[in-house]
């Protein structure tokens, strides 16, 4: 808290002038004496003190309004993010969708049903995202992190998940037809009732994979899968999966 000091009344000029040792310094002393009077008058003016308190009160009001409007600012931010996503729907490229999706997810906003088909989303981070019934068909999601996300009933046809982190993702009833999952980490993922027709699973990490209710593995490439659960590869080959090292079987 600022302490206001009441200034001492300056001496009259006649008294001050007698203290001068050199006449040529009179203009300088007069200038100083003039401003001493100004400071004295203002320092003892109660109106200025009132203005000071009003200024502090104004700051307090601004802080209160800032926090009161925080909800509206968050809604506005989310509205702008959804506008970016929806405006770019059906288009290729990024279009600001990576940042928009990550912001919404960071704020805990459900992304159920979002359509980013054909988008360039390489390196996106959406851990724990709620993406049920979303459309990522033909999207580029290489090197992404979607760990522990919920992607049940998602359209993932021809999506590129190479080297992505898909640990513990719920993919129940998702469609991975012709998707690229080469080198992806699918440890702990739930593939119950998923369609993996033509999917590329080469070198994917399948540790603790929930796979026994997979709907279709026809033409899926399981060459070099890592940490595959017991019986998975044999079941896949029996279900018309293939084991081919090359991109062109």
Which of the given ranges, 4-8, 27-31, 59-63, 93-97, has the highest pLDDT on average? 93-97
Nearest-angstrom CA–CA distance, 247 and 222 = 12
- The total domain count for the chain is 2
Q: Position of tokens 């209160």? A: 64
**pLDDT top residue among 89 and 158:** 158
What is 108-140 written as a DSSP string? T---TT-B-TT-B-TT-B-TT-B-TT-B-TT-B
Helix (H, G, I), strand (E, B) or coil at 104: helix
Whether residue 206 sits in one domain with residue 245:
yes
Residues 140 and 236 in one domain: yes
User: Which of helix, strand or coil describes residue 19?
Assistant: coil
3-class secondary structure for 220-249? CECCCCECCCCCHHHHHHHCCCECCCCCCC
pLDDT higher than 90, residue 93: no
Are residues 63 and 100 located together in one domain of the fold?
Answer: no
Same domain, 119 and 52: no
Q: How far apart are CA 97 and CA 103, in angstroms?
A: 10
Give the gyration radius of the chain's Cα atoms.
35
Distance from C-alpha of 6 to C-alpha of 3, rounded to nearest angstrom:
10
Range of the domain at 36: 13-68
Q: What is the Cα–Cα distance from 168 to 131, expressed in whole angstroms? A: 14
Q: Which has more pLDDT, 5 or 172?
A: 172
Both 28 and 137 in one domain: the answer is no
pLDDT (0 to 100) of residue 4: 55
- CATH at 134: 2.160.20
Three-class DSSP category at 64? helix
Q: What is the pLDDT of residues 7-32, one digit of tens each?
A: 677 777 666 666 666 667 677 767 77
Provide the sign of the torsion angle of the four alpha carbons 31, 36, 39, 40, taken in this order: negative
pLDDT of residue 249 exceeding 60, the answer is: no
State the DSSP string of 135-161. Answer: B-TT-B-TT-B-TT-B-TT-B-TT-B-
Tokens of 236: 């896949």
For the whole model, what pTM was predicted?
Answer: 0.71
């Amino acid at each position: 808290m600022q302490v206001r000091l009441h200034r001492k009344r300056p001496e009259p000029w006649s008294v001050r002038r007698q203290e001068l040792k050199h006449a040529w310094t009179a203009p300088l002393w007069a200038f100083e004496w003039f401003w001493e009077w100004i400071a004295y008058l203002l320092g003892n003016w109660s109106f200025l003190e009132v203005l000071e308190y009003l200024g502090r009160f104004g700051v307090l009001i601004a802080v209160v309004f800032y926090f009161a409007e925080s909800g509206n600012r968050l809604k506005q931010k989310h509205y702008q993010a959804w506008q970016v996503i929806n405006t770019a729907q059906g288009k290729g490229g990024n279009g600001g969708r990576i940042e928009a999706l990550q912001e919404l997810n960071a704020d805990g906003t459900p992304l159920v049903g979002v359509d980013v088909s054909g988008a360039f989303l390489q390196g996106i981070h959406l851990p724990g995202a709620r993406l049920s019934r979303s459309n990522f068909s033909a999207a580029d999601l290489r090197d992404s992190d979607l760990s522990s996300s919920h992607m049940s009933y998602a359209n993932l046809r021809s999506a590129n998940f190479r080297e992505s982190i898909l640990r513990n993702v719920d993919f129940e009833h998702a469609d991975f037809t012709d998707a690229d999952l080469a080198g992806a980490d699918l440890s702990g993922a739930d593939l119950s009732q998923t369609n993996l027709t033509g999917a590329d699973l080469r070198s994917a990490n399948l540790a603790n994979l929930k796979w026994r209710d997979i709907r279709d593995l026809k033409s899926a490439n399981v060459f070099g899968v890592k940490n595959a659960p017991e019986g998975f590869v044999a079941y896949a080959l029996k279900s018309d999966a293939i084991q081919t090292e090359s991109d062109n079987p």
